[in-house]
Each structure stands twice: as structure tokens, then as C-alpha cells.
Amino acid sequence: MVEGKILKVSGPLVIAEGMRQANMFDVVRVGEGRLIGEIIEMHGDRASIEVYEETAGLGRGDKVVSTGAPLSVELGPGLITSIYDGIQRPLEAMRLKCGSNIQKGIDEAALDRDKRWKFEPSLKVGDTVVGGDVYGTVQETEVITHKIMCPPKKKGTIVELIPGEYRVTDRIGRIRLEDGSLEDITLMQKWPVRVARPYAEKLPPVEPMITGQRTIDALFPIAKGGTACVPGPFGSGKTVVQHQLAKWSDVDLVVYIGCGERGNEMTDVLREFPELTDPRTGKSLMERTVLIANTSDMPVAAREASIYTGITIAEYFRDMGYSVAVIADSTSRWAEALREMSGRLEEMPGEEGYPAYLTSRLAQFYERAGKVVCIGGDKRQGALSAIGAVSPQGGDISEPVTQATLRIVKVFWGLDASLAYRRHFPAINWLNSYSLYRDRLEGWFGENVSRKWTEYTGRCLKTLQLESNLDEIVKLVGMDALSAEDRLIMESARSIREDFLQQNAFEDEDSYTALDKQFAMMELVFFFEDKAKAAVSAGVDVEDISGLPVRERIGRFKAVPYANYKTELDSVKEQINTELNQLISAVRA
Amino acid sequence: MIREYKTIEEVAGPLMLVKQVEGVKYDELGEIQLPNGEVRRCRVLEVNGRNVLVQLFESSAGLNLAESKVRFTGHGVELPVSENMLGRVFNGMGEAIDGGADIIPVKSLDINGSPINPAARYYPSEFIQTGVSTIDGLNTLVRGQKLPIFSGSGLPHANLAAQIARQAKVRGSDSKFAVVFAAIGITFEEADFFISDFKKTGAIDRTVLFINLASDAAIERISTPRMALTAAEYLAFECDMHVLVILTDITNYAEALREVSAARKEVPGRRGYPGYLYTDLATMYERAGRKMGSEGSITMIPILSMPEDDKTHPIPDLTGYITEGQIILSREMYRKGYMPPVDVLPSLSRLKDKGIGVGKTREDHAGTMNQLFSSYARGKEAKELMVVLGEAALTPIDRLYAQFADAFEERYINQGFNENRTIEETLDLGWELLSILPRSEMKRIKPEFVEKYWPKKDKN
């Protein structure tokens, strides 16, 4: 145990002397209150310590004790449905222990030490194991089977493995390591958060992560194992997009990191998710969710740690062969925490005061995502998708955090305040957003939804692009100057925007749309356009076409329950035919 | 044992360096005794070996390096609180300035508070009727929300805030309420406007005022809102009251913060404001809310004036990222004479969705709200086009939208500062205005509600 004394306190930064023997990035306990901190710099026998709790009350000479271990998370049964702070302290347990406000220096184990879990071995005595091999399973929630794995880098032979009900720290068996020593097997393992968990091989992502959000799935899809960012000014609906992804994405597990954001938003997730059912499993969404909440009023240093805590937990589940999504809201707050610490350390600042290593840190975070072959003998595959919100100051995406993020991620969902003002939600701007997975996922959509998927989604994008070109003309000389065909394109683009892209997260039927219904919606819009085009060339006035009663039915198609959308589709198509034919015959007459 | 030090080494701006101290803690409160016996307060900003850097809360005038004495109190800055604070006036440091007796404190609370555990919060969902259509109908306020007013110099934000304080109520309940008002660096006239309004309505007896006027020490502004919020937390979470906190003007607060940061020679973020402005503002705003183990709530309306009406300025920008929406005032509407001059489209209440609908306001609320927003947006676009190209260039339907936008501004927004509308009046007015448009345009409202609420004009 290295023990030193405080020399300097400045906000979350503490400098202690007498720390020559301590390691970089060791966790230390600071002062009488045993606050948790981490060594981030060493100068001779002085250590600069980032303290994860409020430092008020610390002074010169207070004791600093190193724990000799880096900042780690506990991984084992009990993670799911939990809500943790940035350094994996369980907030629910803290509430029961010290009331509704967060007190300092609380020691509370991340995993419940008293709860017993039923362990079923899948290996037997005498089997040889390597890191990643599955000893057995614990049914953690109704939907997630927790695989108890041999920690990475271990190798040995099982000498004891007994089924039964265990606490996370109990011995469930023993293995003989290669050097002949015996080691206990427990349900729980620990892993340092700043080190990526190993995998056997990385694979290119080829399968979409289906979100049920039409703008995302159809126009700017993300792959399982991919990375995406959602920048947007305040009020543009970043958080709603993130919540929607957490709710509806077709992954096995979601780790939601509230990093320096509003307390009420985390509460919303905490209260709402248990009541929502997962459309795929029919079980509560909470049963596949882990929450990390380091709200904006909680200590800033723990905010820096929170995204590492979150992604390490996600990697652990990926190693079991699951598809996991990490959703971080917001990486800008994390970058600000970096900036604050950097300022206190008196480092030379880069752009806008952010440290020069901002880009490399961001890249390290996003690079932990990916589709991989997990370690272990059975070559199972897991995927980790990372989605980060970015909160650019003043909505200006030329600022350093957004720019650094854009250089790394493959999908950009740019939120637009002017769309939000018009209450076009999700306010994803179709002109500047992009997905580099579109081509790669084409095959999957073609096989699993429809051969015409890429044609239709491409047509949506093209029509919207044409609309923006035509809009310039309209603004200068008015709608009358456009040809009938162009006016029809404007109508069609309006229909794509209003009848397809706009999606109300708070309407039961509209909140999630299955892929085949998404396809049907596009089909309907283009069916109408094609028929209308024919009518226009027969001499029908565009004004009359846009005033047809069937337009309202197309608009309401999104609210049609999934069970009967097919009959409704046929019936609307029929009405389109009838009404347009009437117009055509009226012209001819 | 409390020691006194006569080792003040430097005083520069709001900062002071004291040498050769022993056992002083970070964030501790200090008291400086001037040669003339006057006592001023300060707070430890940095402990560095045996030196401490402190921040003064009052001006440094008259401070004498040789003769002044400093002692450290062993605790942070605290506010003595009691239920008897209601009806009283305090200065920015929490001392009574209304000439009345000192309050007898029930306890003293650290003004920095401590963060609310997100697992212990209740999600705010109780509808507050403010009687202002643009808020109730479109940007609904709920109990425990923090909803700032983004204003500019010369705009009547004070009138709107006073109107909300006067009219706000939760229907069907008569629980204990209180108002905590913090004047942060505003002028006497502005503070007086609020005080006389509170007096006129009798609300003054349920109000705690913390006053730091423009003429008071700027540095005191850093503690003023925290004093107010500490009082609010006591009233809300320990006396189970529903507290409305009005903080005006946050811009002055942020400027005081910048002053200290600049004096410390910190690396600045945007526009010279410190990099931790977001975190600092968040530790104030996040104190609003509802939590387990208490009946009370803190609803917060911070007011800030946007320099040059620029919403991307760091203060409104960072505020918008923390608060749950914003009410934006528009100079254009003000010039047109529409009061309160709320700029409807960029205004937003993030918590409205759970505070409206059946059992809270009315079933048709969500639909009509979205319909009004999008129709008004389209109407405004049509009007812009009309300015460039003339009315003839509009399609007949766009002409109706333009007409709707005018009527909406004239009647829905422009209700004046004295009219108190019930939510039903607001919703019905919305329907009446929507009926300027063809019924087929009501795409955002469920058909059954259109059926039920569409005004039956033909009969009259």
C-alpha cells in the first residue's frame, strides 16, 4: 500500500506527494472520506489525481492511499436492469443507503453481494479451457442468459465445477492453471475500463441494426458493429432519437450512458423502460438494458470515466456472443470533462481549449465497437455498435468535438433545428446526413425485405434532393414558374417527408415500424407518384391531384396497425386508382 | 481550534492569496476582518501546500494586507434556513436586509447542495396551468421542470415571469406553494417591479427574496442563486411545498463567473467564459425537480438576456442543453405589439408529452398542439414567400395558411399580461383558429378528435 499526503487541491484535481511507488492509473482513496480518485500524472514523487467525487473539505496533509489496481468494473450477473454512476456504483443501492441525494465516499459494490444466482455448468471436470470459454450459464433475466466465461488470457484445466445457487463472489469451481497453481472460479470477474477487452478477430459489418426508425433504416442505416453519431443543437430531438434507438434496436442488449446530461432524462428511461415491451421478445425492455448515469450535476471527473465504464460492460456481453449497442448521450460533455481536467493540469490547449489528444481519445472509444469473433473455443460472434450524441455549441458542427467524431464514425445523422421548429421529427436532415454502410447492407435488405429496397430508398433521397433544388427556384419566382412535372416532384417530396419520414415517437403505432411496413409506405408514396405522373401527362391539373381525398389516407397509413397494413395498402392503392382515373376521364370529357 | 492569519500576501480583483496556513480545506468559508472591524467573506478556491487562494464574495475595497485578519470557519458557505424565511428579503449572501429580526434557523445548509440521485427522482408530469396560451397549449410547464425564458435587453421578460408567478396553479389541488425569487445583478427598477407585483397579489407572504442589485458587488452574484436554491430546497423537500424559483438574470451570473475565471488566468472556453460553465450552470439548474421521500417540488424559471439576441451565445446555448426546453421572446413580435411576445416555433417544453392528455389536460391536446405548430410554421413560410412574390403567387391553400398565421399571432399569442386563460379556453381557441383551414388539413390530429372538437360553424 502506497500512502501519500495531499499537497494541492484545485477542483477535481488533487496533487499528492510521497507517491513514487504508485502506478500510473492506479485507483487511490483520498482523504478521510476515502473519495475515489485515479492517478493521471506522475512527477517525481508527486502524483496528479483526478478525483471522482466532490473534493470540498480536502486539505493539505490529508491521506492518499493507493489501492494498487487500475479503475475496473465488476462483470457478472446482476448488471442488467441496474443503474450505475460513472464509476459503476449502483445508484439504487446508494439511494437506499443514504437517501435521495448523492453523498460522498460511499463504498457500495457494483454487483449485489447477497443475491444468489442459479449456475448451470456446461463444461465438466477435466476439460481444458482458455480465456473466453464458457464454464456455464446463469439465467439473469428472462431474455438474457448470462454466460460465465473464463477471463481473457487464462488457460488451464477444470478441477472442480459444481452446479448450484451462488453469490457472485462464491467459489463455483477451480481450475489448475498452466503453472500448476489452483485458482477459484467465481461468477464475477473484473476488468480495467481503459483497456479494450480482447477478441479473436474483427469482421466487416454486413447486417443492419434495425431500429424501426424510418429515416434511419431506410435512408441512413447503421450496421451491427458499426458506429454512428447524432450531432444537433439543443431542442432538435437528440435525446428522443437516442431513446428510440435504445428502445427499438434489434440488439440483445443496450448499454445506455447518460454522460453529463439531465437527471430527469435518466429518470425517464428508468421509469419508462420497465413498462415497455420489446417487440421481439415480448418482455420488458428493462430486461436487456444497463444504465450508466452521470448527470450534469454529478462530479465532472466521473463523467470522463463513464463512457469507458459503459463500453467495458458492453464488451463483456459482446464476448458472450451477443449483439450489443452502446448509446452515449452526450460525448460532448465527456469531451468537456477532458477539457476541464486538461485545464487544471495546465496543459497546452488545442482548439477551443480542448486538449490535443481529444481526437485520439475519441477514436479509441469508437474503435472498441465492431463485429468480432469472440475469444474462446467455440468461435461465437458478437457485435458492439456504438452511437454517440454530440452537442455542438450553437449547433455549429465545425467545432472540434463534432469534427473529430466525424473523422471516425461511419454514420452521421445530422439533426437540424429548422426541421425541429417545423415539428418535423425525427429532425434528421436528409441532405447532409450520410451512412457509409448503405452499399454494404444492400445485399441484406435485398434478401430479407425486398429486391426493390435499395431502388426505393435511393428514389426517396433523389426526390428530396430534387425538391431542394426546385425549392430555390420557388423561393425566387414562385410555384407557378414550375412545370407540371416539377410540381409533381415537389408534391411527391412533400409526401415522402410528411407521410414517410415524419415519425411520432409518442404514438404507439408510429413509434416503431417494421421493415416490411416501411417498404410498403415507400411503395405507396411512389405508387401514387407514378399514377399521378400518368394523370398529369393526360392533362390533369396538379392542384386537383394534391387535393384528392385519398391523400389523407396515405397520410394516415403510418398509424395503421401492423396486423392489417397489407389489406389497407391494397385498399388505398385501389382508391388511388379510382380517384385518379376519375380525374383523367373528367379531363377527357 | 480556529486560528487567525495575518498573512495575506496578494489581493487582485476578486482573488486573495493567504500564506502559511495550516489545516485549511478546499471550498471552506473564510472570514476577513478589516482594520475597521468590518467582516467580509471568502471561499477557498485552491489549496497549494501552505498557501491558499481564496475568492472574495464582496468587494476588496478597504482591505489592508498588513492589518486585515483571516480566519477559516471549518465548513463551506452555509445558509441558515427556516420556514419563517417566507415573506422576507435577503441580500445575495443570505443576510436579512428588510430591517426585520434575524431569522431563527432550524438548520444551516451548505449552499452547494448535493446532486439528486437520478434513481431517486420522480419524472415530472403534473400539469401547471400558467394561464398563458403559448405556454399551456404549446409548451406546457410541469411541476419540477426547469424552463428558462430566453429574452433580450428591452423585452418584457419580467412581465411574463410575473404573470406566470401570479397565475400558475395545479388544478384540483391546493397544496402549499411558495415563490423563491433571486435578483442577480438586475436594476432596482426591475427588482422593484417584481416586488410590487408580488405585493399587489398578496404573494409576497409566500415569497422569499434574495436581492443582489446591479450596484452590489458583482462577485456576490456567484452565491446569490445558490442561496436561493438552498432556501428553495429546504422549503420543497423538507417542508413539502411546491416552490417556483425565478432566477433573473443568469447572464449576470455567468459574467461574474467569467470575472473570477479570468482573474485566475484559466484557459478560457468560448467567448472568454470558463470551460466549466456548462458544469457550473448544471449544478444550479439540476437542483430543480421532484424526488422520493418528499411531497414538494422545485419548478425553476431562470431568465437570461441573450447578448445581441443571439441564441448561440454560450450562456443561452449551454442553458438550453441543460434545461428542459426554453421559452424564447422575439423582438419582432414585441415590435408588432403582441404580448407576451413569445417566439413560438423555437420555444419548446421537453416535458410536455407526459404532462398533457387525458386526465391531465384534455385528450385532443397533443394533436392540436402539433397541428398548430406545423400550421403556423407553414403559414409563416407562406407569408415570407408572399413578401417576395406577392399574394398572387401563393396557392389558395397557402393563402389560407398565411391568414391562419396572422390570426394565430393576433389572438392566440397576443393575450396580454393580464388575461388568465384556462386550458380549455386555450384549446378551444386553438380549434377555432384551426378551422380557418380546411378540415382535410388536420393530418396531425386523430380523426375522432377532429370529429368531436371541430367547430360547428354551419349551425350558427
Average per-residue pLDDT in chain A? 92
From chain A, the residues in CB contact with B350 under 8 A are 239
Q: Is the pLDDT of residue B458 over 70?
A: no
Optimal mutation site among B279, B297, B445, interface A, most CBs of chain A within 10 A: B279
Interchain CB contacts (distance < 8 Å): A and B: 216
- Is B291's CB within 8 Å of A102's CB? no
The pLDDT assigned to A173 comes to: 94
Concatenating the DSSP letter of every residue in B179-215 gives EEEEEEEE-HHHHHHHHHHHHHHTGGGGEEEEEEETT
How large is the average pLDDT for residues A7-25? 92
Q: How far apart are CA A201 and CA A184, in angstroms?
A: 29
The pLDDT assigned to A279 comes to: 77
**% of chain B residues with pLDDT over 90:** 69
The pLDDT assigned to A585 comes to: 92
Could you say which of A264, A295, A422 has the minimum Cβ distance to residue B124? A264
Handedness of CA B248, B253, B254, B256 (dihedral sign): positive
- Is B286's CB within 8 Å of A267's CB? no
Lowest-pLDDT range, A81-85, A127-131, A180-184, A480-484?
Answer: A480-484
**% of chain B residues with pLDDT over 70:** 99
Query: What chain B residue is nearest to A298 in terms of C-alpha separation?
Result: B115
- Tens digit of each residue's pLDDT (9 = 90 or more) over A502-532: 999 888 889 999 999 999 999 999 999 999 9
Query: What chain B residue is nearest to A293 in terms of C-alpha separation?
Result: B118
pTM of the model: 0.92
Q: Is the pLDDT of residue A350 over 90?
A: no
- Is B28's CB within 8 Å of A8's CB? no
Q: Between vectors from CA B247 to CA B243 and to CA B249, what angle results, nearest 5°? A: 170
The pLDDT assigned to A357 comes to: 94
Distance from CA of A500 to the nearest CA of B (A): 13
Query: Strands (DSSP E) along B286-445, which ranges?
Result: 290-291, 297-305, 325-328, 348-349
Assess B308–A contact: CB distance below 8 Å, yes or no: no
Q: Tell which wins on pLDDT, B255 or A105.
A: B255
pLDDT tier, B444 (very low <50, low <70, confident <90, very high otherwise): confident
Q: Is the pLDDT of residue B101 over 50?
A: yes
Q: Is the pLDDT of residue A102 over 50?
A: yes
Could you say which of B118, B324, B374 has the minimum Cβ distance to residue A270? B118
CB A337, CB A50: distance < 8 Å: no
From chain B, the residues in CB contact with A103 under 8 A are 114
- Is A56's CB within 8 Å of B27's CB? yes
Optimal mutation site among B26, B46, B330, interface A, most CBs of chain A within 10 A: B26
- Is A263's CB within 8 Å of B286's CB? yes
Q: How far apart are CA B370 and CA B445, in angstroms?
A: 8
CB A147, CB A134: distance < 8 Å: yes
SS (H, E, C) A20-83: CCCCCCEEEEECCCCEEEEEEEEECCEEEEEECCCCCCCECCCEEEEEEEECEEEECCCCCCCE
Lowest-pLDDT range, A85-99, A163-177, A270-284?
Answer: A270-284
- Tens digit of each residue's pLDDT (9 = 90 or more) over B397-409: 899 999 999 999 9
pLDDT tier, B459 (very low <50, low <70, confident <90, very high otherwise): very low
Assess B375–A contact: CB distance below 8 Å, yes or no: no
Assess B363–A contact: CB distance below 8 Å, yes or no: no
- Burial class from Cβ neighbours inside 10 Å (0-12, 13-18, 19+) for residue A181 reads exposed
How large is the average pLDDT for residues A221-248? 92
From chain B, the residues in CB contact with A272 under 8 A are 123
Q: Is the pLDDT of residue B330 over 70?
A: yes
- Burial class from Cβ neighbours inside 10 Å (0-12, 13-18, 19+) for residue A109 reads middle
- Is B276's CB within 8 Å of A300's CB? yes
Could you say which of B23, B321, B325 has the minimum Cβ distance to residue A59? B23
- Is A263's CB within 8 Å of B440's CB? no
- Tens digit of each residue's pLDDT (9 = 90 or more) over B20-40: 999 899 999 999 999 888 999
Distance from CA of A104 to the nearest CA of B (A): 9
Cis ω before A426 (30° cut-off from 0)? yes
CB B213, CB B187: distance < 8 Å: yes
- Is B117's CB within 8 Å of A100's CB? yes
Concatenating the DSSP letter of every residue in A258-321 gives EES--HHHHHHHHHHGGGSB-TTTSSBGGGGEEEEEE-TTS-HHHHHHHHHHHHHHHHHHHHTT
Assess B35–A contact: CB distance below 8 Å, yes or no: no
Q: Is the pLDDT of residue B1 over 80?
A: no
Lowest-pLDDT range, A20-24, A420-424, A525-529?
Answer: A420-424
- Is A421's CB within 8 Å of B266's CB? no
Lowest-pLDDT range, A205-209, B18-22, B170-174, B333-337?
Answer: B170-174
From chain A, the residues in CB contact with B283 under 8 A are 296-297
Distance from CA of A196 to the nearest CA of B (A): 28
Could you say which of A9, A422, A477 has the minimum Cβ distance to residue B26? A9
Distance from CA of B266 to the nearest CA of A (A): 7
From chain A, the residues in CB contact with B114 under 8 A are 54, 101-103
SS (H, E, C) A108-168: CCCCCCCCCEEEEECCCCCCEEECCCEEEEEECCCCCEEEEECCCCCEEEEEEECCEEECC
Could you say which of A54, A235, A343 has the minimum Cβ distance to residue B320? A235
From chain B, the residues in CB contact with A236 under 8 A are none
